[in-house]
Amino acid sequence: MNLQGCGTALVTPFRADGSIDERALYDLARWQVESGIDWLVACGTTAETPTLDEGEWLEVIRIVADAAGGRVPVWAGCSHNATKLAVARARAAAQIPGVTAILTANPWYNKPTQEGQFQHFRAVAQAVHLPVVLYNIPGRSAANLEPATVLRLIEAASNIEAAKESSGNLVQITELITLVPKEFRVFSGDDGMTLGILGVGGSGLVSVVSNIIPAEMAEMVKAALANEWSVARRLNRKYFRLMQGIFKETSPGPVKAILAMMGRIEEQYRLPMVPVSAATRAFLERMAGELGLLVRSPRVEGDLRVF
């Protein structure tokens, strides 16, 4: 996978009746691309994917791929805690034009052993021809993918080409980057740890905060990868409170709240996700206002196909 930079893990906009807001999703994805984001992630954790049924999940991926229009890569989130269903999702997503990679997370709730995770991820990878990005997010899945298991997976399936690391463990991530082949990509899955991970050899970031500030996060990552650390640190310093603030409550609550303040989506969720508290809302609005995010230009709109 010859890819570096910053990708956005997109939210899924909903309408008041609970349906997917196709127009808002399409426009959000287009705005991301036109702001300089290097790739898009559809149906990751930030997308409230566990609340989507199979038809909606496919629809979200298709809309994002269509909005990208071949201008940037699109990763399709194909995670499930049942291996059979994760494999089925990967096969279905791989057939969608414009999808360039499969992102697949640790099986959640089951708490599989390293051997269980090895067999799970290997099965997903062997089911598709596209590159596969391993997604290690133990805080959500209750299972940590260890570097030694990643090495086994790289040997077992040649299309396992990258990992998104959201363990929050910089020592483990450094070990992974040190051990894997040079061409294997390791991406930060945590906005606030990005510069640390890039500093030890990471290839980029899969960002949540870039839903709100795509141009700025793309610039920060690009600067760090070019060893322009003064620029990268300046941007990190400016937006670090925002990176932390969007996790003041469970994501994607805060990021959706700010996007709604910006007029890009309606602030709608699917249970068990609920709107942020009044205190958090006031904090986010104050912070967004101080950063000048509430006076953004109108949404970038284009032709939306009907799926």
Question: Does the pLDDT value for residue 304 go beyond 70?
Answer: no
Catalytic residues: 135, 164
Span 25-63, pLDDT tens digits: 999 999 999 999 999 999 999 999 999 999 999 999 999
pLDDT number for residue 299: 52
DSSP label at residue 263:
T
Percent of the chain whose pLDDT exceeds 70: 96
pLDDT number for residue 286: 97
Q: Is residue 233 classed exposed, middle or buried when 0-12, 13-18 and 19+ CB atoms within 10 A define those classes?
A: middle
Nearest to 85 by CA among 57, 59, 113: 57
pLDDT number for residue 1: 82
SS3 for 8? strand
The CA-to-CA distance between both ends of the chain, in Å, stands at: 29
Span 155-188, pLDDT tens digits: 999 999 999 999 999 999 999 999 999 999 999 9
Percent of the chain whose pLDDT exceeds 90: 95
Task: Indicate the length of the chain as a whole number.
Answer: 307
Q: How confident is the model at residue 121 (pLDDT cuts 50, 70, 90)?
A: very high
Query: Is-contact 14 24, C-beta < 8 A?
Result: no
CATH superfamily entry for domain 5-295? Aldolase class I (3.20.20.70)
